[in-house]
Amino acid sequence: MRKTLCILVALVALVGLFFLIRDNSSDVYDDLAKREARRESQREANAFAEQHDLAKLAARGLGQAVPIHLVSQIDPSGDFWFVGIESSELGVQIPFEPGKIPDPPAETEPVHENPGFLGADACQSCHQEKHQSFVKTAHHRTSRLATAENISGSFESVGNRMQTADENVHFTMIERDGKFYQRVSFFDWQFEVPFHLVMGSSKMGESYLYWHGDQLFQMNCTYLSEVDDWINSPGYLDGDAIYARPILTGCLECHVTYIDHRKPPNHFTPGSLITGISCERCHGPGKEHVDFHLANPNVKESKHVSVPSKLSREQQMDICGQCHTAQKSPKDPRGFQFRPGDRLADHYDPVEGHDTSANSVHTSNQVARLQLSECFKQSEMACAECHNPHKPERGQTALFSKRCMSCHESEHCGMSDTLGERLAQNCIDCHMPVRASENLKVDTAEGSIFPPLRDHFIRIDPQATEEYLGAIKGDVSK
Ligand code: HEC
Ligand code: HEC
Ligand code: HEC
Ligand code: HEC
Ligand code: HEC
Ligand code: HEC
Ligand code: HEC
């Protein structure tokens, strides 16, 4: 009996040992296999990361390859590549081949000679005071290079993402080695486009342009000041990623001092660009004037320069009208041919129905609107009657109202009894109301936004009066 028990115990122990050994050895094999599998998947992950790490790829002049389940084809127009997916209407449009990155800005010689534009800094040494205040104006700031201090939108992990209404499409703003990129995540494909130029002083917002060789294009994401966030550029559909909209001469004529236009539609010489709207767009190219006064420091009379106040009223209006009118196309494809004293009509084709505030690019068409006003019709005023182009004066309502009162007695206003002293603080909101424009429609994941612009048709406007009285209700009696 004892013997049997012993054998049994020994047997159990043996079986146990067998299992123990077997288990152990299987553990060893499993471990090896698992480790190998892990190594393999790590290798795959590394290879995947290698193929997907946009920074590493970019260093080799490459972008991420398009996953095979996405549609990737050149548009029949031949102007851009399209990347999409069967299950969705959304799409990517880029002027460079998917899987590549945009070419760096071309280092080419200008095709045309610069007619003498220098930029505002060339005026600093002799016109210090004007220069100092001018560099703070919206004109000077309206275009600049895309550096950290010049881009208002956020690159921090909170705030650098623009989600579209489609969960598969979003944009991330990336900073790398002092350069800035919009990274597009379209389904499981990603690509990056570099910021090169900032357009807009950031009163309403900033749009961004980038170079692909000698071609300039607009970027999909814009910054909107009102919401302090990234949004789709005006006119873009939410969910698309459009980087193939060419920048035409007109856009630059209104927002930079000068650039050499190589050939239509959007070929320019990057090195010829003078950012900002400088003094010279209102006073003429400055080279001759500067050269003369540098060579003749004793001459106190100005030479080779235009002063708007010495021109006729029409000529003065035409200077501002280069940019503050309805959309127009230059007769000379080079652009930048208008000089102070010229007639606008000699340089631009006329536009139909130009006196509504809605038909202009995204300006509120100040020239034509002002011309509808009795103030304009029954006086000799031009834009400089109310605007000092050399100083930033935005938002100084009382100062502007003072300028109204250089021609009007506040007592003549029908609201003078109701508002008393207060009237003189703000003639503007009742007589030049701010109106949102259909032309500036911005599509966001939450709906459309229409940034407001001031209407220069000065008039009696019951609706604006009602709105203004509503807004200040409560402290009128004071
Ligand atoms: C080397 C000195 C110098 C530089 C640089 C210079 N100016 Fe002048 N500018 C003068 C002098 C001198 C006058 C005549 C005195 C005055 O009006 O201040 C003058 C006058 C002017 C006037 C007024 C003309 C008038 O008849 O009332 C304008 C406008 C002007 N300059 C524009 C510019 C612009 C734009 C630049 C830059 C592109 C510039 N200047 C650069 C020396 C200079
Ligand atoms: C070369 C084009 C161009 C010319 C010429 C031009 N402007 Fe402008 N102006 C612009 C642009 C672009 C802006 C918008 C700048 C921004 O906010 O980015 C602007 C903005 C303004 C503003 C708004 C400033 C602010 O801070 O809100 C005023 C006022 C103005 N211009 C008046 C004038 C007057 C007056 C003239 C003529 C003496 C004139 N402009 C000539 C292009 C031009
Ligand atoms: C006909 C001249 C004209 C053309 C063309 C034009 N703009 Fe403008 N743009 C203006 C003027 C004027 C304003 C200022 C509107 C205002 O303050 O009433 C402005 C305002 C802007 C603003 C908002 C600036 C701010 O913060 O207030 C941006 C951004 C902008 N333009 C970008 C562009 C881009 C990009 C293009 C070309 C694709 C373009 N514009 C074409 C004249 C023009
Ligand atoms: C948007 C158009 C515009 C820009 C930009 C501009 N000016 Fe003027 N400038 C004018 C107008 C308009 C007058 C006439 C002012 C008047 O009638 O009160 C003028 C007058 C002048 C005068 C002579 C009268 C005076 O006030 O002394 C000088 C000098 C001058 N500007 C220099 C400059 C300089 C330098 C810059 C750049 C730093 C510059 N301007 C930028 C439109 C402009
Ligand atoms: C250069 C002189 C001048 C300036 C500056 C001026 N106006 Fe006038 N304005 C006139 C004249 C002249 C008339 C027509 C006669 C009248 O009604 O007094 C007029 C008419 C008006 C009218 C009546 C319009 C109508 O259709 O009956 C209003 C309202 C008005 N101005 C408001 C303003 C406001 C607000 C400002 C400032 C933003 C201003 N004006 C700046 C000269 C000026
Ligand atoms: C009778 C006075 C008056 C005249 C003349 C006048 N403006 Fe203005 N303008 C104003 C006032 C007031 C504002 C609002 C300023 C503010 O709130 O900062 C303004 C604002 C602007 C703005 C900024 C628009 C915006 O929506 O923020 C531009 C651009 C402009 N004016 C251009 C012009 C041009 C170009 C002319 C000539 C065609 C002109 N102005 C003539 C009074 C005038
Ligand atoms: C609360 C809105 C409001 C403010 C602020 C305001 N106005 Fe008026 N204004 C009106 C209205 C409404 C009328 C028409 C009154 C009527 O017909 O009885 C008017 C009429 C006028 C007229 C035409 C008078 C006539 O009989 O032809 C002028 C000029 C005028 N305002 C100038 C000004 C000036 C200058 C200021 C600033 C000092 C100013 N307004 C501030 C609402 C306003």
Q: What percent of the chain shows pLDDT beyond 90?
A: 73
Residue type, 251: C
Mutate to test the pocket of ligand 5, among 313, 374, 380 (most ligand atoms within 8 A of CB): 374
pTM of the model: 0.92
Ligand nearest to the CA of 372: 5
Q: State whether the beta carbon of 254 lies less than 6 angstroms from ligand 3.
A: yes
Q: What pLDDT was estimated at residue 17?
A: 47
Average pLDDT over residues 236-250: 95
Ligand nearest to the CA of 203: 3
Element (H, E) at 302: none
Residues 238, 90: Cα–Cα separation, whole Å: 9
Q: What is the mean pLDDT of the chain?
A: 89
Residues 94, 169: Cα–Cα separation, whole Å: 15
How sure is the predictor about 417, in pLDDT bands with cuts at 50, 70 and 90? very high
Residue type, 195: F
Please report, in angstroms and rounded to a whole number, the separation of the first and last CA atoms in the chain: 115
Distance, CA 286 to ligand 1 centroid (Å)? 9
Ligand nearest to the CA of 412: 7
If one compares 434 and 50, the residue with the highest pLDDT of the two is 434
Contacts of 273 (CB under 8 A, 6+ apart): 197, 256, 258, 259
Q: What pLDDT was estimated at residue 259?
A: 98
464, 429 in Cβ contact below 8 A?
yes
Tens-place pLDDT, residues 350-361: 766 555 555 445
Tens-place pLDDT, residues 294-328: 999 999 999 999 999 999 999 999 999 999 887 67
Both tokens of residue 26? 């299987």
Model confidence at 14: pLDDT above 70: no
The residue whose C-alpha atom lies closest to atom 36 belonging to ligand 4 is 279
- For the ranges 198-202, 234-238, 407-411, the lowest mean pLDDT is seen at 234-238
In this structure, how many other beta carbons lie within 10 angstroms of the beta carbon of residue 288? 13
DSSP 461-475: -HHHHHHHHHHHTTS
For the chain, the structural domain boundaries read: 41-106+138-279
Q: State whether the beta carbon of 196 lies less than 6 angstroms from ligand 2.
A: no
Return the ligand 6 atom nearest residue 434 CA: 26
Tens-place pLDDT, residues 216-234: 999 999 999 988 999 999 8
Q: What pLDDT was estimated at residue 226?
A: 84
Tens-place pLDDT, residues 176-222: 999 999 999 999 999 999 999 999 999 989 999 999 999 999 999 99
SS3 166: coil
Q: What pLDDT was estimated at residue 57?
A: 93
* Burial of 289 from C-beta contacts in 10 A (0-12 / 13-18 / 19+): buried
How sure is the predictor about 453, in pLDDT bands with cuts at 50, 70 and 90? confident
Q: What pLDDT was estimated at residue 196?
A: 98
Average pLDDT over residues 409-424: 92
**In the block, which residue shows the tokens 């990155």?**
101
